[in-house]
């Protein structure tokens, strides 16, 4: 139980630090900044685990774990899952979610209702749908999955590897159309 409690505390500390950084500093690569903050919380978790008593001054005897190392590793796994599967996904959805952006556009519109034409023009707070595709392309260029040469976009070696992996998985799982 100690590992779980410290994982929860570390996760909350991580998201609090992310919030402070995002509010104070203009961060360009936010996902990378979040990852750095998460990595910084790992030694804090380890130190807290090593320096506190097994019962955390409050746990009843039945919740004290005799296998301290395993309990510590378990807590670290939970902390990582809460970050990669939780906070980072919240950020990804808020920053990149196509469906979510549509919902927000509708909610922010004066009549709280939009026609497809209005959404197409006003997508992304007025940037328009064409911007979405450009944003994806720029993202692939900046992560070096593609390069642009003589007006053509080409997959890099890294891009080829990614295409092979994900293309293979999509074929195996019979996924042909994005849901």
Partner 1 sequence: MNPDALGTALRAGAAWTAAAVIGHFVIFHFARVEHRARTVTLLFTLAALAALWTGLLLDVDRWRAVYGVVVVGCSFLLYMPFYYTVAASQSVQLVIEVRAAPHGLSREQIRRRYPVQETLAGRLETLAWAGYIVGVDGRFALTFKGRLVCLPFRAVKKLWRLGAGG
Q: What is the footprint of partner 1 within residues 34-93 (CB under 8 A)?
A: 62-63, 65, 67, 70-71, 74, 77-78, 81-82, 84-86, 88-93
H/E segment holding residue 161 = helix 157-172
Residue 167 is a binding residue for partner 1 (CB under 8 A): yes
Binding mask 91-130 for partner 1 (x = CB under 8 A): xxxxxxxxxxxxxx-xx---xxxxxx-xxx--xxxxx-xx
Q: Coil, strand, or helix at residue 27?
A: coil
φ and ψ of 108, to 5 deg? -85, -10
Min dist. Cβ of residue 96 to partner 1 (A): 6
The radius of gyration of the chain's CA atoms, rounded to the nearest angstrom, is 22
Rounded to whole angstroms, the Cα distance separating 54 from 106 reads 51
Min dist. Cβ of residue 56 to partner 1 (A): 15
User: Nearer to partner 1 by C-beta: 56 or 88?
Assistant: 88
Min dist. Cβ of residue 149 to partner 1 (A): 8
Residue 61 CA to its chain's centroid (Å): 37
């Amino acid at each position: 139980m100690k590992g779980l409690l410290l994982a929860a505390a570390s996760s909350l500390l991580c998201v609090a630090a992310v919030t402070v950084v995002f509010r104070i500093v203009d961060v360009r690569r936010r996902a990378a900044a979040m990852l750095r903050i998460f990595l910084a919380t790992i030694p804090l978790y380890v130190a807290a685990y090593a320096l506190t008593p097994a019962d955390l001054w409050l746990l009843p005897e039945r919740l004290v774990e005799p296998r301290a190392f395993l309990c510590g590793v378990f807590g670290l796994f939970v902390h990582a899952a809460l970050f990669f599967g939780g906070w980072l996904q919240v950020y990804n959805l808020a920053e990149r979610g196509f469906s979510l952006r549509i919902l927000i556009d509708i909610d922010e519109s004066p009549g709280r209702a939009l026609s497809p034409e209005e959404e197409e023009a006003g997508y992304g707070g007025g940037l328009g749908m064409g911007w979405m595709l450009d944003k994806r392309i720029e993202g692939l260029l900046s992560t070096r999955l593609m390069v642009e040469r003589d007006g053509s976009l080409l997959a890099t070696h890294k891009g080829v590897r990614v295409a092979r992996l994900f293309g293979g998985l999509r074929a195996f799982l019979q996924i042909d159309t994005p849901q």
